[in-house]
Amino acid sequence: MILAPMQGLTEVLFRRVYEECFPGAVGLAVSPFLSLTHNMQFAGPKARRLFLRDVLPENNEGSIPVVPQILGKEPEEFVAMLCDLGYDEVNWNMGCPMRAVTSKHRGSGILPYPDEVRRLLDEVMPRLRCRLSVKVRLGLKDKEEIFGIVPVLNDFPLASVTVHPRTGRQGYGGVPDLEAFGRVLPLVKAPVIYNGDICSAGDARRIRERFPSVAELMVGRGLLYNPTLPLEMDEAQRQHEAKRFIRRLVQEIKETLPTEQAMLRKSKEYWCLSWKSLAISEAEARKVLRADQWAVVDNLIDVFTQ
């Protein structure tokens, strides 16, 4: 199982705590994207290290093994970024649904333009010293757009192609189009990874049974809803391990972030999703989200995870 990139959530802090609590449960993580629009090609060493801190190898010791993800379409900056990273594999984000991204033909905004995809891959692939994988959606507005992209991807030796069977305009609403995914799957030459709405072990089994040729499953929000998702546990053990993980995550936030305001914000970001793994009501969970003091939030989470 692969951990999906989620901006602000699946950063190294989360990956490190998850690997500590559930070693080996998730074999690989794709990092939240690094945007080429920051023009890091011309930044100084200190600024570059700050920008790359989430994926620097020394910061990821003891973490889930990570594949850095890049968002953008500028070949020179793309290659320069890869030289900085020094990883065996890097992922190209062709799936981000945010309008501020897609309006610039980045993320899923590039999917209606297969010639732009080919142009970047033609310039980048011969210069890479690592493998390149991609993460795509079915299209930006139209789920048929993927069928113009697949022939382009097939012309290059990609490490894998992750397919999220929604369009960019759908964002994370509605349901994944499994029928469309089933049509795409046999057309892709590279190993295909499935991503989208895997929130339980049952969901994972159903995808595996319906699409046995899928190389791997990628899970995002489902892992925050239920941190024990990759593990077979009874309900009592699942509750115990979920509480242990949330307590450890909050402890890491306290030890890592510099201010109480930053700790408050980050804890609430995780709590928005992770409280669903606990046997508490939404009304109880909202007490944490309404609190405006770190001491109150810290105490409430401690109570709910005992």
Q: What is the DSSP string of the chain?
A: -EEPP-TTTSSHHHHHHHHHHSTTSS-EEEPPPEEGGG-GGGS-HHHHHHHTTTT-GGGGTTSPPEE-EEE---HHHHHHHHHHH--SEEEEEE----HHHHTTT-GGGGTT-HHHHHHHHHHHGGG-SSEEEEEEEEESS-GGGHHHHHHHHTTS--S-EEEEEEETTTTT-S---HHHHHHHGGG-SS-EEEES---SHHHHHHHHHH-TT--EEEESHHHHH-TTTTS---HHHHHHHHHHHHHHHHHHHHHH-SSHHHHHHHHHHHHHHHGGGSS--HHHHHHHHH--SHHHHHHHHHHHT-
So what's the pLDDT on residue 88? 87
User: Is the same domain home to 205 and 248?
Assistant: no
274 domain-assigned:
yes
User: Is the same domain home to 256 and 126?
Assistant: no
So what's the pLDDT on residue 195? 96
Q: Mean pLDDT across the chain, nearest whole number? A: 91
Per-residue pLDDT, averaged over 22-51, amounts to 80
So what's the pLDDT on residue 74? 85
User: Is the same domain home to 212 and 243?
Assistant: no
Structural domain count of the chain: 2
Q: What is the pLDDT of residues 99-134, one digit of tens each?
A: 999 999 999 999 999 999 999 999 999 988 889 999
User: Is the same domain home to 106 and 51?
Assistant: yes
Q: What is the pLDDT of residues 52-79, one digit of tens each?
A: 889 888 899 999 999 999 999 888 888 8
Q: What is the pTM of this model?
A: 0.91
User: Is the same domain home to 13 and 73?
Assistant: yes
Q: Which domain-ending residue is among 225, 249, 264? A: 225
User: Is the same domain home to 259 and 149?
Assistant: no
284 domain-assigned:
yes
pLDDT at residue 48 greater than cutoff 60: yes
pLDDT at residue 290 greater than cutoff 90: yes
Q: Which domain-ending residue is among 200, 225, 250? A: 225
User: Is the same domain home to 190 and 270?
Assistant: no
User: Is the same domain home to 215 and 174?
Assistant: yes
Confidence of residue 235 (pLDDT cuts 50, 70, 90): confident
So what's the pLDDT on residue 84? 63
230 domain-assigned:
no
- CATH of residue 186's domain is 3.20.20.70
Domain that holds residue 41: 2-225
User: Is the same domain home to 187 and 267?
Assistant: no
Q: Which domain-ending residue is among 207, 225, 243? A: 225
User: Is the same domain home to 221 and 259?
Assistant: no
User: Is the same domain home to 211 and 262?
Assistant: no
Q: Of 84-93, 170-179, 289-298, give the lowest mean pLDDT range.
A: 84-93
User: Is the same domain home to 186 and 268?
Assistant: no
pLDDT at residue 87 greater than cutoff 60: yes
Per-residue pLDDT, averaged over 216-233, amounts to 91
149 domain-assigned:
yes
